[in-house]
A and B are shown apart, each in its own frame.
Chain A
């Protein structure tokens, strides 16, 4: 049974917003998702009734805040099916996906990368999964290799043996591309990486919110994602680290909370995972994120993926039948629904995406225009920017129909004055 979308939409107050005298159509979910009332209420409820610092207090509120905070850590570990998470919770709170990747580049990778070692990323990485490795490779005199993509912006797997080999120390790859909508065959890449003893980091910022992601099944070493793209609050990132690495991982940030014993000369670290979280953590947002996880679990991640695939198929069908759009607009990314997400990225020679985006905004439609933090990819495609519509659980076929009507209208508007 499909999720009841009209019921779901009632949970998102912002979806009734009027923008430029039009009903909001929110199609900028790859940038950030909207928040259901359950998450908003949990956040305000925490500040009204539970607010207190975690872990150190002996008073009632501190105990309650600590319990709720740590319950969400368990919930998230279970959500991604982390192995044996009850014995050692492998979830580390960060500020966002970017910080999660940076921490690994400055800790595990910094400690393990040697001269002439190789790190493999793909040609479709977000800047956050490219620049930290550029700097590290320069410092270590290691090599950064960019796994090539084909004309449909999919990884070109004929290069698998060439790019992932005995020199490879780390494969750091995006699961689902934020700018092209490509879902990468990460199981194939992880298997290959394991065969050469390389570690694997999965950037799950665009996959964990939209489909089941199981780290036990994947056998990846690191998984990073952000709460705000999956109905949760902003300012909260997640770093999952596999147990064998986690046990030997050095903390990056030092200070309060992460210590067991301190003298004027030295300090010993707290237990995992607290030793990786120096200072007061983002308590309120973690607790509210728990409600986002509950919300997603109630619908079911497979159902969410199914719904978005149906919306994407619906969108591809409209495009296929619209001659004007077909002739005047290019859709990037895979044509096969099985390996594409609900991210649709367009380029047109008729007008710059920012101008089209302004016209769409005038109709109440929120899309993203720009390089989507994938500038090298944009350069390789020969476009300065693209227009991206991205779907989530609350989007409907009616909204997609409206998007295409308004997108065509904006193209015709500029086309007529050419």
Chain B
């Protein structure tokens, strides 16, 4: 059988997210967009976003992800986490996620923020695949406003 880290990484929750990613349906209004491509492997993530005009949080989104199961599953999980969160909270979640990948200790409160992202913890031992799980975060770095597009 495979190592513990492989079995943890490719558990059923991650597998399910990679086979059937969340938030794939088109949204009715796109105010912002983000795209990230991993130029080494060709994986792609696109986020079509609708921002709440009052509190500037993401109120709705569509995820379009192509690539390996790690990049698709992490994108799917992140897409479920960021709806309704402030940009500060989103940044904090990313920081905790990266702390986890760097094998640093994280508190129970921080674990709560990570949700199902906790299953990517084995990537701290598989350096080469870390970038797959970070692609969605790279896209979030590059969120740009669009002239609102009504669908």
Q: Does A20 contact B (CB under 8 A)?
A: yes
What is the 8 Å Cβ interface bit string for chain A, positions 345-365, against chain B (1 contact, 0 not)?
A: 000000111110011001100
CB <8 Å contact, B2 and A359: yes
CB <8 Å contact, A355 and B6: no
Residues of A within 8 A of B3 (CB): 20, 362
Q: With the chains together, A392 CA to B26 CA distance in Å?
A: 49
Q: Does B68 contact A (CB under 8 A)?
A: yes
Q: With the chains together, A355 CA to B10 CA distance in Å?
A: 9
Q: Does B41 contact A (CB under 8 A)?
A: yes
A365 to chain B minimum Cβ distance, whole angstroms, is 12
Q: Report if A370-B41 is in contact (Cβ < 8 Å); known contacts: A351-B69, A355-B10, A417-B15.
A: yes
Sorting the interface of chain B by its residue count into under 10, 10 to 19, 20 to 34 or 35 or more gives 20 to 34
Q: Does B109 contact A (CB under 8 A)?
A: no
Chain B: CB-nearest residue to A363: B2
Q: Does B53 contact A (CB under 8 A)?
A: no
Residues of B within 8 A of A369 (CB): 41
CB <8 Å contact, A385 and B10: no
Chain B: CB-nearest residue to A358: B129
Q: With the chains together, A351 CA to B14 CA distance in Å?
A: 13
CB <8 Å contact, A413 and B67: no
Q: With the chains together, A24 CA to B15 CA distance in Å?
A: 28
CB <8 Å contact, A362 and B70: no
What is the 8 Å Cβ interface bit string for chain B, positions 50-61, against chain A (1 contact, 0 not)?
A: 000000000000
Listed in ascending order, the chain B residues whose CB lies under 8 Å from chain A are: 2-3, 6, 10, 12, 15, 19, 40-43, 66-70, 126, 128-129, 132
A-B contact pairs, 17 of them (CB 8 A): A351-B69, A352-B67, A352-B69, A358-B6, A358-B128, A358-B129, A363-B2, A370-B40, A370-B41, A371-B41, A375-B42, A378-B42, A384-B42, A414-B10, A414-B69, A417-B10, A417-B15
Listed in ascending order, the chain A residues whose CB lies under 8 Å from chain B are: 20, 351-355, 358-359, 362-363, 369-371, 375, 378, 384-385, 413-414, 417-418
A-B residue pairs, 9 tightest by C-beta = A354-B68, A352-B68, A417-B15, A355-B69, A362-B6, A362-B2, A370-B41, A355-B68, A384-B42
